[in-house]
Amino acid sequence: MARTIEVEAVVVGAGPGGYPCAIRLAQLGVKTLCIEKEYWGGVCLNVGCIPSKALITAGKRFEDLADLSTMGISIPEGERSVDMQKLQAWKGSVVDKLTGGVRTLLKANKAEMLTGTATFTGPKTLSVQTSEGEVTVKADNVIIATGSRPVEIPGFKYADERILDSTKALALKAVPGRLVVIGGGYIGMEMGQMFAKLGSKVTIVEAMDSILPGFDADVVKLIGRKLKKSGITVLTGSKALGWEEAEGGAVVKVQTPKGEQALEADAILVTVGRRPNSEGLEPTGVKLERGFVVIDKQCKTSVPGVFAIGDVAGGAMLAHKATHEGEICAEVVAGHKASNDARTVPAVVFTDPEVATAGLQEHEARAQGFEIKVGTVPFAAIGRALTTGHSEGFIKTIIDAKDNRVLGITICGDHASDLISEAALAIEMDAEALDIALTIHPHPTLGEGLMESAKAALGQAVHVLNK
């Protein structure tokens, strides 16, 4: 006979949206159960954001070793090597610490946990298959936090050994000699550059006319130069037609603007986007659009007492957006006045150099009809950047010409991922450029570039020429 658990709230999925939601619900005194079928911490902690950034960091440091000679530090030729077994073990240790932390935090906050595959049997009832048998769960409130998975394209099935999704690619025990990456968005760019640094000969195939579709033209231009310098081949306006096994590897057929090409590969990485895990939600009765659960600013679905957060609810498919929604949702379930009124969801691409945005990019502001002023400061004008040996890139501040309000900041350069939080805060606070410009930034730091960029937008820069 199935065991029955009755709670005030059940969270289905323990990813970066689900587990913070469950923790916050428990903190607010709501009797909460969190169900996870495989990865405590979700795709992000286990096979996504964290392991990929670990390997990206390793690739960057490996490449940096070759550049130390400019600082007078030399490593004998041939002594640079990568032990992928040890690298994977280190990556695994990072993941284990974080996923273990998730379970510890849930337990410490008195949120119940259940490992198993949940199936909805009604809007607020579930059947969970666990290692110990079936468990029936009934709840007053249900939070759907089931996440997303990589899109599979015709002719490239992940079941084939040579075809990699991001999860398989991050678990490779050897660096592929020749890697074809299908998709030149942020995941393809991050992974492609990482493997190139570790020794792969990489070709990126992108269907659009440009890599990193939707990003600032100056960003695309800079990253494009870096790819060329790194020996990475990029085929834009091109479509992968299929592949076949050949002597010594695989051959990928690609339709390019110059005709059909055959690319030799040892592995083929497909990174063309992600799709929501919304199958099986029919018994809940929630409204779906293009597979995503429709929610309002309080994460409420079309069914009272049923909520959705994170990737399955659409919008920016980013871990930090999911976490924010999870915490908002918990407050709403607990009866507090809360809603998602964020002005911006900052985005980061861990390419080399890194790219980060908050608010509107320059082309987006123009497209929305704003009259703007733009201040751009190259990393080469920032003293700290020169001392690190990474002076590629720029910081661009976009302000409304009418009242000097900050509309957006784009950073392309070393540590852009760390610098963008100040930009996000400025936009959330509806700051003027002067708020950043008149804030004393410590010297010598990369953060000074944000101050100088805001001054440049006002025509008051002292370390770059004002336009």
Nearest to 317 by CA among 11, 48, 23: 48
In this predicted structure, what is the pLDDT of residue 77? 74
- Catalytically annotated residues: 443
pLDDT in tens, 347-400: 999 999 999 999 999 999 999 999 999 999 999 999 999 999 999 999 999 999
Query: Two tokens at 76?
Result: 């004998």
Q: Mapped to the 3 state alphabet, what secondary structure does the chain carry?
A: CCEEEEEEEEEECCCCCHHHHHHHHHHCCCCEEEEECCCCCHHHHHHCHHHHHHHHHHHHHHHHHHHHHHHCCCCCCCCCCCCHHHHHHHHHHHHHHHHHHHHHHHHHCCCEEEECEEEEEECCEEEEEECCEEEEEEEEEEEECCCEEECCECCECCCCCCEECHHHHCCCCCCCCEEEEECCCHHHHHHHHHHHHHCCEEEEECCCCCCCCCCCHHHHHHHHHHHHHCCCEEECCCEEEEEEEECCEEEEEEEECCEEEEEEECEEEECCCEEECCCCCHHHCCCEECCEECCCCCCECCCCCEEECHHHHCCCCCHHHHHHHHHHHHHHHCCCCCCCCCCCCCEEECCCCCEEEEECCHHHHHHCCCCEEEEEEEHHHCHHHHHHCCCCEEEEEEEECCCCEEEEEEEEECCHHHHHHHHHHHHHCCCEHHHHHCCCCCCCCCCHHHHHHHHHHHCCCCCCCCC
Q: Please give the Cα distance from 423 to 151 (Å, whole number).
A: 32
Query: If you compute the radius of gyration of the chain from its CA atoms, what whole number of angstroms results?
Result: 24
In this predicted structure, what is the pLDDT of residue 1? 60
pLDDT in tens, 118-173: 999 999 999 999 999 999 999 999 999 999 999 999 999 999 999 999 999 999 99
- pLDDT above 70 covers what percent of the chain? 100
Query: Two tokens at 378?
Result: 């190259």
Model confidence at 70: pLDDT above 70: yes
Residue that is written with structure tokens 């030729």 in the block: 77
Domains of the chain in start order, with CATH, are 3-150+275-333 (3.50.50.60), 163-270 (3.50.50.60), 347-458 (3.30.390.30)
Q: Give CA 136 to chain center in angstroms.
A: 34
In this predicted structure, what is the pLDDT of residue 63? 93
Q: Please give the Cα distance from 58 to 21 (Å, whole number).
A: 32
In this predicted structure, what is the pLDDT of residue 217? 98
Nearest to 221 by CA among 232, 234, 210, 206: 210
In this predicted structure, what is the pLDDT of residue 76? 86
The pLDDT-based confidence of 53 (bands split at 50, 70, 90) is very high
Model confidence at 464: pLDDT above 80: yes
In this predicted structure, what is the pLDDT of residue 2? 73
Tell me the average pLDDT across 211-230. Answer: 97
Average pLDDT, the chain: 97
Q: Please give the Cα distance from 187 to 400 (Å, whole number).
A: 32
In this predicted structure, what is the pLDDT of residue 67? 86
